[in-house]
Amino acid sequence: MGKTTRKLEVVSPVPADIDIANSVQPLHISEIAQELSLSSQHYDLYGKYKAKVLLSVLDEIGGSEDGYYVVVGGITPTPLGEGKSTTTVGLCQALGAFLDKKVVTCVRQPSQGPTFGIKGGAAGGGYSQVIPMDEFNLHLTGDIHAITAANNLLAAAIDTRIFHESTQSDKALFNRLCPPNKEGKRKFCDIMFRRLKKLGIDKTAPEDLTPEESSKFARLDIDPASVTWRRVMDVNDRFLRKITIGQGPEEKGMVRETAFDISVASEIMAVLALTTSLADMRERLGKMVVGNSKAGDPVTADDLGVGGALTVLMKDAINPTLMQTLEGTPVLVHAGPFANIAHGNSSIVADKIALKLVGPGGFVVTEAGFGSDIGTEKFMNIKCRYSGLKPQCAVIVATVRALKMHGGGPQVTAGRPLDKAYVTENLGLVEAGCVNLARHISNTKAYGVNVVVAVNAFSTDTEAELNAVKNAALAAGAFDSVICTHHAHGGKGAVDLGIAVQKACENATQSLKFLYPLDIGIKDKIEAIAKSYGADGVEYSEEAEKQIEMYTKQGFTNLPICMAKTQYSFSHDAGKKGAPSGFILPIRDVRASIGAGFIYPLVGTMSTMPGLPTRPCFYEIDIDTSTGKVIGLS
pLDDT by residue (tens digit) across 268-315?
A: 999 999 999 999 999 999 999 999 999 999 999 999 999 999 999 999
Instruction: Please check whether residue 37 is in contact with residue 128, taking contact to mean a CB–CB distance below 8 angstroms.
Output: no
Q: Is the pLDDT of residue 260 over 50?
A: yes
Work out the angle at residue 304's Cα, subtended by the Cα atoms of residues 298 and 309, and round it to the nearest 5 degrees.
Answer: 125
Q: Residues 329-337: what's their mean pLDDT?
A: 94
Q: Is the confidence at residue 125, as pLDDT, over 70?
A: yes
**Average pLDDT for residues 466-477, to the nearest whole number?**
97
Q: For residues 99 and 143, what is the distance between their CA atoms, to the nearest angstrom?
A: 33
Entry pTM: 0.93
Give the separation between CA 28 and CA 186, rounded to whole angstroms: 54
Q: Which residue has the higher pLDDT, 577 or 612?
A: 577
Q: Which of 41, 20, 15, 16 is nearest to 93 (CA)?
A: 20
Instruction: Tell me which residue of 345, 377, 365 sits closest to 109, measured CA to CA.
Output: 345
For residue 103, pLDDT over 70 is answered with yes
State the Cα–Cα distance between residues 503 and 360, nearest whole angstrom: 14
Query: 464: buried, middle or exposed (CB in 10 Å: 19+, 13-18, 0-12)?
Result: exposed
Instruction: Give the C-alpha separation, 41 to 375, whole Å.
Output: 34
Most confident of 59-63, 185-189, 440-444: 440-444
Is the pLDDT at 632 greater than 90? The verdict is no
Domain with CATH 3.40.50.300 in the chain: 17-141+316-507
Residue 171: pLDDT band (50, 70, 90) is: very high
Q: What integer pLDDT is reported at residue 1 of this predicted model?
A: 38
Q: How confident is the model at residue 73 (pLDDT cuts 50, 70, 90)?
A: very high
pLDDT of residue 120: 63
2-6, 73-77, 172-176, 327-331: range with lowest mean pLDDT: 2-6
pLDDT in tens, 222-252: 999 999 999 999 888 888 889 898 888 888 8
| Least confident interval from 14-28, 116-130, 202-216 | 116-130
Q: Look at phi and psi of residue 262 and say left if phi exceeds 0, alpha if psi is from -120 to 50, else beta.
A: beta
Q: What is the CA radius of gyration of the chain?
A: 25
Identify the CATH assignment for 144-310 out of 3.40.50.300, 1.10.287.470, 3.40.800.10, 3.30.1510.10.
3.30.1510.10
Cα 395–397–399 angle (5° rounding)?
155
Q: 346 and 112 in contact (C-beta within 8 Å)? A: no
**pLDDT for the residue 365:** 98
Helix (H) or strand (E) holding 290, with range, is strand 289-292
**Based on the number of CB atoms within 10 Å of its own CB, is 419 exposed (0-12), middle (13-18) or buried (19 or more)?**
middle
CATH superfamily of 522-602: Formyltetrahydrofolate synthetase, domain 3 (3.10.410.10)
| Selected residue with higher pLDDT from 1 and 416 | 416
pLDDT given for residue 137 in this prediction: 86
Q: What are phi and psi of 260, to 5 degrees?
A: -105, 140
How much is the average pLDDT of 175-179? 93
Residue 435 has pLDDT above 80, yes or no: yes
| Separation of CA 467 from chain center | 33
* 212-223: average pLDDT: 96
Least confident of 56-70, 181-195, 382-396, 609-623: 609-623
DSSP secondary structure code for residue 63 in this structure? T
Tell me the average pLDDT across 118-125: 71
> What pLDDT score does 113 carry?
64
Q: 17-141+316-507 sits in which CATH class?
A: alpha beta
Band (pLDDT 50/70/90 cuts) for residue 463 is very high
Q: Are 364 and 67 in contact (CB under 8 A)?
A: yes
In the chain, CATH 3.10.410.10 sits at 522-602
Poorest-confidence range of 21-25, 389-393, 487-491? Answer: 21-25
Q: What is the mean pLDDT of the chain?
A: 93
What is d(CA 430, CA 410) in angstroms, rounded to the nearest whole number? 13
pLDDT of residue 122: 65
Helices 170-177, 211-218: axis angle to 10 degrees equals: 70
How much is the pLDDT for 4? 67
- Please state, for a pLDDT cut of 70, what percent of the chain lies above it: 97
DSSP 206: G
CA distance 609 to 162: 25
Are the beta carbons of 630 and 136 closer than 8 angstroms?
Answer: no
Maximum C-alpha span of the chain? 86
H-only helix segments in 407-494: 427-445, 463-475, 486-489
Q: What is the DSSP letter of 66?
A: P
> In the chain, which segments carry CATH 3.30.1510.10?
144-310
According to the model, what pLDDT value does residue 192 have?
95
